Amino acid sequence: MTQSAPAADSSRPAAPDPWAATGAMFAGVVLLVDGILSIVKGIAGIASDEVYTRINNYTFKFDITAWGWIHLILGVILVLVGWGILKGAAWAWGVGIALAALNLIANFIWLPYQPVWAIISIALDTFVIWALCAHRAKPVI
């Protein structure tokens, strides 16, 4: 007589990945920090066009003051969304993914002005997108 293995209960949700669960909480903190860094970038760009200098001849050419305002506004919104994620607000998860993607694109275009800072922000945004998409314990809009 052979014993059969117990049937897997497909109605029970799979346990969340601990890396993703911890990463989702960390994503809220990263969004807060990335937002604060964007605010600092924005203030520096608005204050003086000489703060940032372009390196090489890059395809994208933008006014530094305009980019300063973009980073400032995006930074304030990132801080608010990061705070929402830490508070467990359902709306903040979907908005956090979208804003992290938008911030990733903005930092890619910002590469010729501050390459190291932009690459670090791109890496942080990539992690935030992964963490918020991978964690299933909270509802995502």
The answer for residues whose C-beta is within 8 angstroms of residue 44's C-beta and 6 or more apart is 51, 52, 68
What is the token pair recorded at 9? Answer: 């209960």
The answer for residues whose C-beta is within 8 angstroms of residue 1's C-beta and 6 or more apart is none
pLDDT one digit per residue (tens) for the chain, 141 residues: 555 555 555 555 555 566 556 777 888 898 998 899 889 988 988 887 665 555 566 555 667 788 889 889 999 999 999 999 888 888 888 899 999 999 899 888 878 777 888 898 899 889 889 888 876 554 444
Give the separation between CA 57 and CA 36, rounded to whole angstroms: 29
* Tally of CB atoms within 10 A around 125: 25
